[in-house]
Chain A
Amino acid sequence: MARNRVAIVGAGMTKFVRRAQETSKELAWEAASKALESCELTLDDIDAVVIGSAPEAFDGVHMKTEYLSDGCGGWGKPVIRGFVGGGTGVLSVIQGWYHVASGIFDTVLVVAEEKMSACQPHPQGAFITIFDNITERALGPNLLWIFALEMNAYMTRYGLSKRDIALVSVKNKRNAADHPAAMLGDPNITVEDVLNSEVLAWPVQRLDVSPVTDGAVAIVMAAEHVARRITNKPVWVEGIGWNLDTAYWTNRDLSYPTYVEEAARMAYKMAGITEPRKQIHIAEPYDPFDYKELHHLEGLLLFDKGKAAEATALGITQRDGDLPVCPSGGLLGVGNPISAAALMKVAEIFWQLRGEAGARQVPGQPKRGIAQAWGDLMQVGTVVVLGV
C-alpha cells in the first residue's frame, strides 16, 4: 500500500501541575502555541487538527472536542478527536499519522489536553462509570481496584515483591527531577519512601501511583516533502499499532497485557523490526502505576515475561543503562494528565532522538524509540515507533 512518509517536526507542552488556573482550552492553546513556535510555523501552515482528551466527565463539559477546538487551533479546519481512555495520547499520534500518510493532509497539529482538577470532590469519581453499570457498579468500586487486582495478579504470577516494583517509582521520580515541566521530580526519593507511603488499595500505595494532574502537550506532524523544508532533524514515524481486548476483564489473564503485545507486533512489522531488544534503543512505556511499566515492557517484547523487574534492579532501564526506560520521568514523575501524559512520552522520544533532551539526554545517540499508552478497562494498547 502506497503511503506518505510522516515525520514529527515540533513539540511543546505546558508544565504539569496539580491544579492550573488556566481553563482546559487555555492549556490546549499554551501547548499548541509552543509546538508551533518550536518548528517556526503558524496556524496558517497547519492543514488539520487532531485532539486527544479523555472523558468529558473530568471537565463536566459535553462535546469536549468542540469546546477544546479553538485552543487546539481547530477553528475553520478539519478536526477529529479519538478516545481510548488512557491510550488516547498515543492514539492521537496514530490518527495524525494516517491523516498525513493517506496523502489527505501535509501538516497536522496534534494536541492532547487534560484538566482533571475540576472534577469534585476527587477526579476518581469520573472513573466509577467505567465499571459495568449493572454487574459491577453496585459493589462500590473505585478506579484503584482494577490496578490493585491486576498488580496482585502480576506479582503473584511471577513471585515479585513490592520492593522489586518500587524501584520503578524511584527511577522515574528521580528522572523527572531533570524535566522542566515535571510535577513530582525528586532526586532523593528512596525505595523505603515508596514502601512506607500510605496504603491505598493493597498492593497499591501512595507512591506506586501517579498523581492527579492538569496539563497539555502538542506536536506537529508533516509529510516528508514538507518536513524536510521545516527542519533538518525530522523524527520519522516508523511504525504504529493499536489493539483492544475484551471488556469482560474478569475473564482475562491479568498478569499479561496481550493487547499491548498485539499492538507492538503491528508496529514492529510496519517498522521492519524483527529483534526489538536490539533495534529499540529507548522506551517510554505507560507508567501510571509502577508495576505497569514492567507489565508493558514485557508486553512490548522488550523483556521476557516476569523479567522486567530483574532488569530494573540491574539498572538496565536507567538513563545510562542498555535500554533507558522512561527517561522523561514518566507519569510517576512528570505527572499524569491522562491523554497529555501519553503524548508527553511521544514528545520525549522526539527530543531524545534529536539530542535535545538536556539534562535528561540518554547517552549513545539513540536512533529508534518506542512510546506506548494503555487505557480503557485495562484493555487497550497504543504504540508508536519513532526513528531518525
Chain B
Amino acid sequence: MKEFVYNCVSLSEEDFTQGRVLFETWKPVARYAWDAGIAIGRYLRELKNGRLIGVHCPNCGRVLVPPRMFCQDCFVPIDGFVPLQDTGTVVTFSICYIRWDMVRLEHPLIPAVIAIDGASPGMGILHLLGEVKPEDVRIGMRVRAVWKPAEERVGAITDIRYFKPIE
C-alpha cells in the first residue's frame, strides 16, 4: 500500500515563526445570547435561591438532574420539579493540570461527576471539587456544595463555587 500514500508537506513550528511559509489569520466574532429554556431556566432560578432541583418523570418514576422538560428515555413530559439536597457522591473525577489551550495551570482543577442526593441513582452533574488535596480525592467520596453568598448569586451553575468533602 506504500505507493498509495501521498507524501504531503510537513511543516515545522519554525516554518511559521521564521516566516518561511505564507499564512493568513482571522479572529472570529461569535456572540450568542442563549435562552435557558423551560427546565434549565427554572434550574438557574433555584440556583440563585441556593437550591438544587431535579424533575420527576411520571412514566419511569425517576428523578432526573440536570432538569429537562421531557424524559429522554420515555419521551413524555415531566410532571414536576423536585427539590434535591446540595450533597452528593463523587462518581468519577480528574485532576487537570492544563487549560483548554494547553497552558499549564499552577493549581490543578478537579472536575468531577457528582451524583446528587435526592435524585435517582446515577444522576450526576459536572462540577468542580475544592477544599481538598488532589491526592485525597476518591470515587465514592461524599461532598457538599459550597455556595456563593446570596447577593453574589446570579442564576448560574457557578453560583455553586465547588463541592467540598463532608467532614
Residues of A within 8 A of B (CB): 11-15, 17-22, 27, 30-31, 33-35, 37-38, 60, 120-122, 124-125, 127-128, 131-136, 138-145, 148-150, 152-153, 156, 180-181, 199-204, 214-215, 246, 248, 250-254, 347, 351, 356-358
Contact = CB atoms under 8 A, between A and B. Distances in A.
Interface stretch (B76-84, B109-117, B142-150): B109-117
Given A15-B10, A134-B36, A250 B124 contact: yes
B166 to A, nearest CB: 20
Contacts of A204: 94
Contact of A135 (B21, B26, B94, B125): B125
Contacts of A215: 8
Contact of A139 (B92, B93, B99, B157): B157
B11 A19 contact: yes
Contacts of B44: 134
Interface residues of B, number: 55
A125 B72 CA distance: 29
A125 B101 contact: yes
B48 interface: no
Nearest to A129: B30
Interface of B: 1-2, 4-12, 15, 21, 25-26, 28, 32, 34, 36, 40, 43-44, 64, 66, 68, 72-73, 91-102, 109, 111-113, 122-128, 134, 139, 156-158
Given A134-B44, A135-B157, A152-B139, A35 B4 contact: yes
24 contacts: A19-B10, A19-B11, A20-B10, A21-B21, A22-B9, A27-B8, A37-B4, A121-B102, A127-B100, A138-B158, A141-B111, A144-B96, A144-B98, A153-B91, A153-B139, A181-B5, A200-B96, A200-B97, A200-B98, A201-B97, A202-B94, A246-B72, A250-B66, A251-B123
Given A30-B6, A60-B26, A135-B157, A253 B122 contact: yes
Nearest to A10: B4
A180 B6 CA distance: 10
Contacts of B4: 11-13, 34-35, 37-38
Contacts of B5: 12-15, 34, 180-181
A358 B2 contact: yes
B2 A141 contact: no
Contacts of A20: 8-11
B140 to A, nearest CB: 9
Nearest to A351: B1
Nearest to A131: B126
Contacts of A347: 1
6 nearest A-B pairs in the assembled complex, by CB-CB distance: A148-B94, A21-B9, A30-B6, A17-B10, A142-B100, A201-B96
Contact of A153 (B6, B21, B92): B92
B100 A125 contact: yes
Contacts of B36: 134
B8 A142 contact: no
B127 to A, nearest CB: 6
A306 to B, nearest CB: 15
Nearest to A124: B100
Given A17-B10, A135-B66, A152-B139, 5 more contacts: A11-B4, A31-B6, A124-B100, A202-B94, A248-B68
A127 B100 CA distance: 9
